Chains A and B, each alone.
Chain A
């Protein structure tokens, strides 16, 4: 096998590219040039390393979860604890990198989209740290289901703009951020939060998150003496998954991505883009997407705001076609049960997004040979989801589940 790890945009096979208005091309070129120069600049590398160590709290640990593993079978399960990062998820890895680039480009304002609010919170955090103006676009529906994160962003000094057009969720927040960027591109950096969007975002965001897999690979070798049988993660846009997968692309390690099957694939109310989507162009890149026969984007559905997105990063589309990674759907109910399972067996409360990976491993892990080891990216902590969880299990209305 050739080196899959070396693949860099603009294209991953037929996917990726730059399907955006001409108005953004100069900014994308500037971003790409700045990034390519920075990633080999010792000053930038040192600055990023120090921030990762002293601010984010890297390296994140891995935790073996033997009691949870018993639910799966005769396997060992390890969690890469991105939930322990500052701000509570993997999102900060990319945000710190891009905020440093914004400074290099002398941009004074960053804008970001957010679904669950984790990327918005991370962006607001970096803006506070670096003294940048920050505007976060968030679908009106999401501002309601993630009200606590709206408050966190405001506390950090960011302006949160509820988006009321279209389906009023993440995809519309990205549209609105793109419109803002087209208008204010001279002083503004669009801090895109996932491995989607026009080149160079899919490659650059992946690179900033690839530290997850790099650390975990070494940690697994040190702890178990071998690579895991499987590396698993949830997939919305796909940033935490690609961050984990990238280090293992050229190894004999199975890669499992778990998408949100919402209320069930058969109901049509899901966000299983790779399983059920068709090739198209959304938000600047060619990839799989959920669309009707006219190419109109179809609204996705998931209990988890962070996976509720009808597109997916182009590198995942490529890995799917190459059959290098396998993607499966996990329903809302399966994810919620797995979230509770991990909490009650190991005392770790995962984000609902992350719980899709836990549930997927419960479903698929039993098929592995005895003694296999599974590395799961625990991409975020569940504190932000307590209202949804409380309602789902009946903790908040006084009834039992």
Chain B
């Protein structure tokens, strides 16, 4: 079974809100990103989404864009991703999903990238700009290596495409809550519920987590009522920027506990 799906069902069995937390690799530097990710996991994040800094992040809002630009300006190199994953997975058992745009992976070599992912202890990959239609090779390699793969499902996806996202994903399906890019929003679109039920209609049993615009504990709690988990990114980075690891940890705990900040 998928390690990610296992972690999600374990947290659910305990009656907890499931929280997927994003942090960029190499931000603001390599060691700090390892420390921040380990702290997030110890504070209760159920799945860690580790972002790969990329020059053209079209799915990301300003907070993540600026953080990943800073990581690149500070010299982050793709080959450093794997030791970062290794350092995190050595300390915590939380599944680590790497979130990467497609070109860095293509440039590195997909097969080599997948093998390094596996060797470093990562659970799999979230691909924001790779749709299942273009993912034949990745699907084959991830099957072979038993890596999780997360595709996106959105309010504009047809029922057929929601079904395809459910069938193609392993670990969870990333349900986009609202039309737009990453970044905190006050009101979560009701569209998220429709995406979740559309994915669930596939009856594949693949969990569905909701992301884009999720920033408060009450949103996380609300999402966990109808989905299998909530994904938070920008709000965690803002907390870290504001008060370092202490505030990052507080933010994780508040999100997890369902309390508003």
A residues engaging B (CB < 8 A)?
17-23, 25-27, 165-166, 171-172, 175, 178-179, 182-186, 278-284, 289, 291, 293-297
Instruction: Say if the beta carbon of B203 comes within 8 Å of chain A.
Output: no
Contact B102 A23 (CB under 8 A): no
Known A-B contacts A280-B106, A281-B103, A295-B104; A182 and B65 likewise in contact (beta carbons under 8 Å): no
Contact residues in A for B134 (Cβ distance below 8 Å): 17-19
Contact residues in B for A281 (Cβ distance below 8 Å): 102-103, 106, 129
Instruction: Say if the beta carbon of B54 comes within 8 Å of chain A.
Output: yes
B residues engaging A (CB < 8 A)?
54-59, 61-62, 65, 69, 72, 77-79, 102-108, 128-131, 133-134, 151-154, 156-158, 161, 165, 176, 179-181
Partner of B176, one of A23, A171, A178, A293: A23
Contact B103 A22 (CB under 8 A): no
Contact B154 A23 (CB under 8 A): yes
Known A-B contacts A296-B72, A297-B56; A20 and B181 likewise in contact (beta carbons under 8 Å): no
Contact A166 B56 (CB under 8 A): yes
Bound state CA distance, A104 and B232, in angstroms?
38
Partner of B103, one of A183, A186, A295: A295
Bound state CA distance, A184 and B156, in angstroms?
11
Contact A26 B103 (CB under 8 A): no
Known A-B contacts A19-B129, A21-B128, A186-B179; A295 and B78 likewise in contact (beta carbons under 8 Å): yes
Known A-B contacts A281-B102, A283-B56; A25 and B107 likewise in contact (beta carbons under 8 Å): no
Contact B161 A25 (CB under 8 A): yes
A-B contact pairs, 17 of them (CB 8 A): A18-B134, A19-B102, A20-B131, A21-B59, A22-B154, A23-B59, A23-B179, A175-B57, A175-B58, A179-B61, A293-B107, A294-B79, A294-B107, A295-B54, A295-B78, A295-B105, A297-B103
Contact A296 B129 (CB under 8 A): no
Contact residues in B for A172 (Cβ distance below 8 Å): 56
Partner of A21, one of B55, B56, B105, B129: B129
- The chain A residue with its CB closest to the CB of B134 is A17
Which 5 A-B pairs rank lowest in CB-CB distance, beginning with the nearest?
Answer: A295-B107, A26-B156, A295-B104, A22-B152, A183-B180
Contact residues in A for B179 (Cβ distance below 8 Å): 23, 182-186
Contact B69 A165 (CB under 8 A): yes
Contact residues in B for A175 (Cβ distance below 8 Å): 56-58
Bound state CA distance, A90 and B24, in angstroms?
42
Contact residues in A for B130 (Cβ distance below 8 Å): 19
What distance in Å separates the Cβ of A284 from its nearest Cβ neighbour in chain B? 8
Partner of B54, one of A23, A178, A183, A296: A296
What distance in Å separates the Cβ of A113 from its nearest Cβ neighbour in chain B? 12
Known: A21-B59, A178-B58; 15 extra A-B contacts, CB below 8 A, are: A17-B134, A19-B102, A21-B129, A23-B176, A23-B179, A23-B180, A26-B154, A172-B56, A175-B56, A185-B179, A291-B103, A291-B107, A294-B78, A294-B108, A296-B104
Contact A295 B108 (CB under 8 A): yes
Contact B107 A22 (CB under 8 A): no
What distance in Å separates the Cβ of A291 from its nearest Cβ neighbour in chain B? 6
Contact B181 A183 (CB under 8 A): yes
Contact residues in B for A27 (Cβ distance below 8 Å): 156
Bound state CA distance, A363 and B101, in angstroms?
40
Known A-B contacts A166-B56, A185-B179; A22 and B161 likewise in contact (beta carbons under 8 Å): yes
Known A-B contacts A296-B54, A296-B104, A297-B56; A18 and B78 likewise in contact (beta carbons under 8 Å): no
Contact residues in A for B107 (Cβ distance below 8 Å): 278, 280, 291, 293-295
Bound state CA distance, A280 and B69, in angstroms?
20
Q: Which of A280, A282, A295, A297 has the most CB of B within 10 A?
A: A295
- The chain A residue with its CB closest to the CB of B53 is A296
Contact A185 B156 (CB under 8 A): yes
Bound state CA distance, A281 and B107, in angstroms?
9
Q: Which of A185, A291, A294 has the most CB of B within 10 A?
A: A294
Contact B131 A282 (CB under 8 A): no
- The chain B residue with its CB closest to the CB of A167 is B55
Contact residues in A for B152 (Cβ distance below 8 Å): 21-23
Bound state CA distance, A282 and B58, in angstroms?
10
Contact residues in A for B157 (Cβ distance below 8 Å): 22, 25-26
What distance in Å separates the Cβ of A189 from its nearest Cβ neighbour in chain B? 14
Known A-B contacts A26-B158, A278-B107; A166 and B129 likewise in contact (beta carbons under 8 Å): no
Partner of B69, one of A23, A166, A297: A166
Known A-B contacts A166-B56, A281-B102, A295-B105; A22 and B69 likewise in contact (beta carbons under 8 Å): no
What distance in Å separates the Cβ of B185 from its nearest Cβ neighbour in chain A? 11
Bound state CA distance, A93 and B243, in angstroms?
53
Bound state CA distance, A17 and B133, in angstroms?
9
Contact B106 A23 (CB under 8 A): no
Contact residues in B for A165 (Cβ distance below 8 Å): 62, 65, 69
Bound state CA distance, A182 and B79, in angstroms?
31
Known A-B contacts A293-B107, A294-B104; A25 and B156 likewise in contact (beta carbons under 8 Å): yes
Contact A295 B156 (CB under 8 A): no
- The chain B residue with its CB closest to the CB of A291 is B107
Bound state CA distance, A1 and B29, in angstroms?
55
Contact residues in A for B151 (Cβ distance below 8 Å): 22
Contact residues in A for B69 (Cβ distance below 8 Å): 165-166
Contact B129 A20 (CB under 8 A): yes
Contact B156 A23 (CB under 8 A): yes
Contact B131 A18 (CB under 8 A): yes
Bound state CA distance, A194 and B43, in angstroms?
48
What distance in Å separates the Cβ of B13 from its nearest Cβ neighbour in chain A? 30
What distance in Å separates the Cβ of A200 from its nearest Cβ neighbour in chain B? 14
